[in-house]
Amino acid sequence: MAKVTTSSLLNLKQDRTKFTALTAYDASFAGAFDEEGIDVLLVGDSLGMVIQGGKDTCAVTMEEVAYHTRCVANVVKRALVIADMPFMSYATPEQTMESAAQLMRAGASMVKLEGGHWLLETITMLTERGVPVCAHLGLTPQSVHVFGGFKIQGRGDENAQRILEEAKAIEQAGAQLLVLECIPAQLAQTISETLTIPVIGIGAGKDTDGQILVMHDILGISSGYIPKFSKNYLAQTGDIRLAVKAFIQEVADGVFPAEEHTFN
């Protein structure tokens, strides 16, 4: 069972082979997802909502993400483990270095940051010091109060061009992966085709290199509602492991995300 790395994900992109990612926060689910063949596991600050019951991700602390990262990394044998840098944990260079080191020591193989042009020096600084970076554009949940809610990003020519230019600059700065969340499918396709690095979509159409979903959404147990861009695979299969298999297969076949999961 070969370990998934940034290099192997790049090879999948070059071979036009879709890959899959899920969030995970504990050893039991992480181990099951890993055994079923999920390529990437994200210890997301989404834990603030799905684990802690918060209204957004902003209250999550570095210590909490590090704890859940350790739980996941302890059991994962194959998947690439990425950990979110929580809200205001990378506001200054010194803080960024210590935050990233804490997550890498907890077992992450990569850290994820939300933001565009203002993060370019930070991305370069991290990669120069041996910390792989996954960037995140579009709907960045830590900025939900700036956006005025969880709103689709990148609509209109000017906004789309801005996100495209940020994506290219982020790649140039050294990021090795990019997550695009809740943007029009055509924009996500353009970015995926423009960049060399793999692009992972969530609510970004079917033409990104990989797809990621929140585990609670694919199991239909999120409090409140299931987002438009997600799908309840547990309802479809009746078994957690079969739900993961179905997600992997539908992404590979180009069946998911379908039109009803996509923003135009």
**What residues are labeled active site?**
181
- Angle between helix 185-194 and 157-173 (nearest 10): 30
Q: What is the DSSP letter of 141?
A: G
Rg (C-alpha) for the chain, rounded Å, is 17
- Six-digit token pair at 1? 């069972």
What gap in Å lies between CA 233 and CA 128, rounded to an integer? Answer: 40
* Residue 114 known to bind ligand: yes
The residue written with tokens 């809200």 in the block is 87
How far is 143 from 149, CA to CA, in rounded Å?
Answer: 9
Burial of 259 (0-12, 13-18, 19+ CB in 10 A): exposed
Measured on CA atoms in the order 75, 80, 86, 88, is the torsion positive or negative?
positive
Find out whether 151 is annotated in a ligand binding site: no
Residue 125: CB atoms within 10 A of its CB come to 18
192 is in an annotated binding site: no
Asked if 25 and 51 count as a contact pair (C-beta separation under 8 A), the reply is yes
Binding residues for Mg(2+): 45, 84, 114
Binding residues: 45-46, 84, 112, 114
Binding residues for 3-methyl-2-oxobutanoate: 45-46, 84, 112
